Chains A and B, each alone.
Chain A
Amino acid sequence: MGRFLDLGLFIIASGLLLLGSIWGLWIAPPEAMMGDVYRIMFVHVPSAWAALMAYTTCLVASVIYLFSGKSGADHVAAASAEVGLVFNALLLITGSLWGRPTWGVWWTWDPRLTTAAIMFFAYAGYLALRGAIDDDRRRSTWCAVVGIIIYADIPIVWFSVKMWNSLHQLQSSPKTMDPAMVTPLRIGAFAFLFAFLWLVRRRVVALRLRAQNDILMMNEGDPR
């Protein structure tokens, strides 16, 4: 069952990524002011949504771990933070590539960009903390607490364009966009959603295998 689910998620994610790229690059019309460069939106915005979804999953799994103490929840928190960091990196890179031709700079200390960068480094620190503590219980507990604390940045990222005078535009939604541009954005969003689900499942399996391996090694007296 799990194998079929993984295969299904992989096929849907790959297919939608391909379809979204073709639609975004060649079928969607150019934008009136930005011309073709706006097409970066079809990967930039889904990267942001996927990163926020991953970090929210990390928060929920961290809370569940603190209440239940189940290692499965800890694995989900670790996997989703790692996958979120990958999407967060894509968000910053594609944003920078969009900023250069439209704003004239690769980077500026705008509230949205700054809070998104803080989000990236906070979760990079979270993963560094995971690697720094040897004891399983202590690592899981400490990381669950940190996973909850650093989530405080996510609402700030989301509302930064509304709270402050930001160079970054407000959140795009289907209501504010031309219908011809909505379809590739929706395809991109679902592609990243399924990619996120597949990646998290794979990383959880890897973490579970590593945990089982560590127990076996410990029982055999391996000092690793």
Chain B
Amino acid sequence: MNGLINGGWDYVNAAYSIVWFVLISYGIFAWKQSRPNQEKLP
């Protein structure tokens, strides 16, 4: 049985895509920001 809602996959794909995009983007940001910037340090 496929339930009472048709076209649910569009919403599912959108939700998973957003979660992956946000986590990867924020992960890259967090990783880059946590690396020492040698130019600023004496």
Contact = CB atoms under 8 A, between A and B. Distances in A.
A and B bind? yes
Interface residues of A, number: 40
B4 A34 contact: yes
From B4, B9, B34, name the one whose CB has the most chain A CB atoms within 10 angstroms. B34
Interface residues of B, number: 30
Contact of B16 (A21, A33, A35, A102): A21
A1 B3 CA distance: 50
A32 B3 contact: yes
A93 B15 contact: yes
Contact of B20 (A21, A24, A44): A21
Would you call the interface of chain A mostly helix, strand, loop, or mixed?
Answer: helix
B30 A199 contact: yes
A206 B9 contact: no
B5 A195 contact: no
Interface of B: 1-9, 11-12, 14-16, 18-20, 22-23, 26-27, 30-31, 33-34, 36-37, 40-42
29 contacts: A17-B23, A25-B12, A31-B3, A33-B3, A34-B8, A35-B3, A35-B4, A35-B8, A36-B2, A36-B12, A37-B5, A38-B3, A40-B12, A40-B15, A47-B19, A90-B23, A97-B11, A97-B15, A101-B7, A101-B8, A199-B26, A199-B30, A202-B34, A203-B34, A206-B33, A209-B34, A209-B37, A216-B40, A216-B42
